[in-house]
Amino acid sequence: MNMNFSERAATLEVTACSYSVRKALRKADVFMRNEKAVGLIIPRDREIEKYDDALRNVLRSTKRSELYAQCAVEVSHRGNANWLQAADILKAKTGVVLLIPHGVAIPSDIRVSLDEVMQVEEIRPSHLVAAIKTLRREPTTLEEARLLLSYPQDLIFQALRPGRSVQQALARLSDAVEAKAERPPIGPVSFGVEELPGFGQAKEWALDLAEDLRGWTHGSLAWSDIDCGLLLSGPPGTGKTMFAQAVAKTCGAAFVSASCATWQAKGHLGDFLAAMRKTFSEAAEKAPCILFLDEFDAVGDRAKFRGDNANYCVQVVNGILEALDGSPRRDGVVVIAATNYPDAIDPALRRPGRLDRHIKVELPDHDARKDILTLHLGTEVSPDVLAHSARATRGYSGAALAQLARDARKQARRAGRSVTADDVRAVTPSLMPLDPFTRRTACVHEAGHAVVGTELAYGEIAVITVVRELSPCDDSAGYVVWRRTKLLQRTRGSYANEIATVLGGRAAEEVVLGFVTDGSGGMNGSDLHRAADIATVMEATLGMGHGLSYSDVKTSEDIEKLRRSDPVLRKRVEKLLTAELERAKEIVRKRLEDVDTLAKEIMKRELLSGDEVREMLARR
């Protein structure tokens, strides 16, 4: 069948997506258990139609098409999902694969029907290599794939036109990036960092920097006394670029922006290093200057480089180390590097004199979200409406909130008027009230964590909350925040107590309610995920289990791979988890009235402070 260029590009993208979908299905054991019902959450800002096609490809290639009913949940422009088809399929079929857009709240009747909810990963370099080899019969290196994926995904597959090699596609993408860089920046920030809500420590660092730069400019402060390097990490969309621009405005400094993707434009090591040195020279000529380096994790870590491109990558790191070094030619240049993955950066880049300060930027809390909306919408909209929008956008990044404000202004613009409360309400996602049964279950779960942790002296409770309404980004109805003293050395009992506390919610459900829900597992960061990781580390690296062997694992992904590859370790971890769950259940049985009283109080109040919890438990 003849396909046009656009169709071929879409087919290549779908094929690349298929590998991420296949991995998620394997993790969910779908290919082993035909009766499973699994929800797959696609990556943020990706088209669900492409992942629907990818899912069909995977099931067809594994001869599972007839065993699974497939359903992609569609979302309206107002952010409301249509779950009716999914509900009907889940009632009628045993084997179901449900595709769910990122950030959409899953109703309780759907979630309870699903055996697992998995996050589909973004396309990886190995996936792209395999897709190009399958469809284009063209060998591609992982380094070339990594470079391709450093560009916007919609451009990648358009650049890989038939008859054009990967190297030519990279050249085209590089030209597009250079052309974009030559254009003046769109919409530079008109405010300083002091006006930015939600940046905490980073804002304090910036205000100190502004004062120090004034002293350096006037000759009263040596450059060696200034913090001239910052690594800013955090989830996508938290405003790291905007923060760097605002810092430049507050400091009265020039602003220069670059990334490995722009330095890599022509592909050769010499060209990369020359472009990098040119950027640092440009910043030095404009001193005082804020040099912003985006997606800094692309530099990598020399300890992890393997294969034919290892030497190239090592030279890249060495070149940036030289450029960052505190030599006189960097006087007046403050480097702010941004990343979503700080652990992927070579430790030498973060030593004193380079990027010596590391600050994590978290997703904004309720007050910060309200301030961000006020910043973008002004004071025309009433505080009550902004407070409601802030509540309904739990889990939103600063970028997502800016988009919501743009949507509200667009509605007003089309109506030929200024923004009103109705415009904001129209683009704000709907809050989903928790039914009494679900909320009661969540209150018992959090009370179990609190009582077990208190009994085992796990830490000091700061706050307990269980919300009455869920926002689209919420993946949990409640949580307990603990304050803990960091210990230099910990005993086996300390780790065991942590596991028991983490499993305290599941223990309370089983003892108090007589059943367990999926609230303890099903996703990264869940209670079961945390408990399994702690148990694995005890058994495999700390010598606190049944053996004294040591394995070098640093990330949760490393820990999971280790468990999967070692059946003996899996049995030991399961044994340890079972023992600590039984211990948590015994504590809940012993303090059943405490759990019940605390759960009822959370049900009434929604939020309890640590002092209130301690007073309540002390009275009993």
Determine which helix (DSSP H) or strand (DSSP E) holds 56, and give its type and residue range: helix 48-61
Q: How far apart are CA 298 and CA 85, in angstroms?
A: 41
HSE toward the beta carbon, residue 352, CA cutoff 13 A = 3
Alpha carbon separation from 435 to 219, 439, 447, 467, 470 (Å, rounded): 65, 6, 18, 11, 11
Burial 10-35 (b: 16+ CB within 10 A, else e): bbbbbbbbbbbbbbbbebbebbeeee
User: Tokens 């988009």 correspond to what residue?
Assistant: 403
How much of the chain is in helix, strand and coil states, percent to nearest 5?
55, 10, 35
Whether 568 and 540 have beta carbons less than 8 Å apart is answered as: no
Q: Find all residues with CB under 8 Å of 431, minimum gap 6, and list them.
A: 391, 392, 469, 470, 471
Whether 403 and 389 have beta carbons less than 8 Å apart is answered as: no
Sheet of strand 37-41, all strands in order from the earlier edge strand to the far edge: 69-72, 96-100, 37-41, 116-119
Helices (H), 415-549: 421-427, 436-455, 492-502, 504-508, 527-540
For strand 289-294 and strand 460-466, is the pairing parallel, antiparallel, or unpaired?
unpaired
Cis peptide before 288 (omega within 30 of 0): yes
Whether 511 and 478 have beta carbons less than 8 Å apart is answered as: no
Q: How far apart are CA 279 and CA 299, in angstroms?
A: 16
Alpha carbon separation from 356 to 201, 215, 289 (Å, rounded): 15, 21, 18
Length of the chain: 620
List 13, 116, 446, 580, catalytic entry: 446
3-state secondary structure of 99: strand
Q: Supply 195's token pair.
A: 């006006």
Q: Is 580 a catalytic residue?
A: no
Q: Supply 291's token pair.
A: 């040099």
Alpha carbon separation from 268 to 65, 102, 338, 360 (Å, rounded): 45, 37, 24, 33
Q: How far apart are CA 532 and CA 301, in angstroms?
A: 27
For strand 478-483 and strand 432-433, is the pairing parallel, antiparallel, or unpaired?
unpaired
Q: Supply 607's token pair.
A: 């939020």
Q: How far apart are CA 75 and CA 473, in angstroms?
A: 14
Whether 101 and 48 have beta carbons less than 8 Å apart is answered as: yes
Whether 125 and 145 have beta carbons less than 8 Å apart is answered as: yes
Please give the positions annotated as active site: 446
